Amino acid sequence: MKAALVTGPGIAPACAEFPTPPGRPGLDRIAVSAAAISHVTRARAAGGHYSSPADFPFIAGVDGVGRREDGSRVYFAMPEAPLGSMAEVTLVRRDQIVPLPDGLDDATAAAIAIPGASSWVALTERAKLERGQTVLINGATGAAGSLAVKIARHLGAARIIATGRNEAVLATLGADATLPLAAPDLARRAAEHFAAGVDIVIDYLWGESAEQLLIAAAKASPDHHAVRYVEIGSASGGEITLPSPVLRSTAITLMGSGLGSIPLPRFIARAGEMLAAATTAGLTLSTRAVPLADIATAWADDGTRTVITMAH
């Protein structure tokens, strides 16, 4: 079969022949139709992600859309190593597969699965969002952050505050308030929002903006008001400097959300919930579809949300 094969650390995947996997007990064979080039997929292939495979070669791709042998259309994640999702056929544990709704096309499902699940899982599993609460999304102008605004609204958030560097994009997200990260009075404006009551922060950036938001929360949140701060990504830096009184001066709970924060089958089940709600919640991303044969060219262009499609 054809597959996007990674032959060494830091080497981009190339379309190559790989043995078609036979069926194995406890695993479903899936004929893959679409798989997105996500940040996680890139990081694992480069050997820079905590879930990166230790042995080479392996097939790129952590999740995708396809059909079981019974013809049912499904979303799946984390195929059995050394298999991946960017192949004509893969093998996946049955508790890592969820059905797809008829109204959601393959490319859209593949494109939104990981970025959409990141906030869905953070809000439902980690932060325990309750209807009527206020959510601040730090880094809302990226793919995952823009989906997070819609997902928070769909899950019942009454007020959504979005931060980002691109003010033009911020204005299009449908948030109730925006915080441009380049604003010279960012700390003051953030403090005003926390003083009014922020229940949950979903953070895709970390770095300097996280420091400012955490300090603002500590200084301005009402007494004993619980703030659940959920770190998802680190686009602005992998480390922060945090004064210790921040965690003592208010009821801040600092946590992370990702593949290691909850059991994988539950993570995938939550992703299935998000995909089932995608049409109702208006969850879409601008994407381009590229055939598997052109994986090398598509991999080099990291500025576009790309879905690799398999021909059968």
- The angle subtended at Cα 100 by Cα 64 and Cα 140, nearest 5°, is 65
For position 302, what pLDDT does the model report?
Answer: 65
- Separation of alpha carbons 12 and 30, rounded Å: 24
Q: How many other CB atoms sit within 10 Å of the CB of residue 242? A: 14
CA distances from 309 to 110, 119, 296 (A): 10, 25, 13
**Preceding omega of 184 cis (within 30 degrees of 0):** no
For position 51, what pLDDT does the model report?
Answer: 65
Q: Which domains does the chain have, with CATH numbers?
A: 2-113+263-309 (3.90.180.10), 128-256 (3.40.50.720)
- Separation of alpha carbons 221 and 44, rounded Å: 38
For position 39, what pLDDT does the model report?
Answer: 84
Q: What phi, psi does 91 have (nearest 5°)?
A: -120, 135
- Separation of alpha carbons 11 and 277, rounded Å: 37
Q: What phi, psi does 121 have (nearest 5°)?
A: -65, -45
Q: What phi, psi does 65 have (nearest 5°)?
A: -125, 145
Strand partners, 63: 77
121 contacts 267 by C-beta, under 8 angstroms: yes
CA distances from 127 to 99, 123, 200, 210, 296 (A): 26, 5, 7, 17, 39
Tokens of 227: 């703030």
Three-state DSSP at 87 gives strand
- The angle subtended at Cα 230 by Cα 225 and Cα 160, nearest 5°, is 70
CA distances from 297 to 4, 48, 101, 294, 302 (A): 12, 21, 31, 6, 10
- Separation of alpha carbons 49 and 175, rounded Å: 31
- Separation of alpha carbons 291 and 34, rounded Å: 9
- The angle subtended at Cα 72 by Cα 69 and Cα 77, nearest 5°, is 85
139 contacts 115 by C-beta, under 8 angstroms: no
- Separation of alpha carbons 29 and 89, rounded Å: 7
For position 4, what pLDDT does the model report?
Answer: 97
Q: Given phi > 0 = left and psi -120 to 50 = alpha, else beta, which region is 206?
A: left
Q: What phi, psi does 231 have (nearest 5°)?
A: -90, 125
CA distances from 311 to 1, 114, 226 (A): 11, 23, 50
* DSSP code of residue 245: G
For position 46, what pLDDT does the model report?
Answer: 79
Mean pLDDT, contiguous 10-residue spans, the chain (312 residues):
92 94 94 94 77 82 97 97 96 97 95 97 98 98 96 98 96 97 94 97 97 96 94 94 90 93 94 97 94 92 83 76
**Residue showing tokens 């905590």:** 50
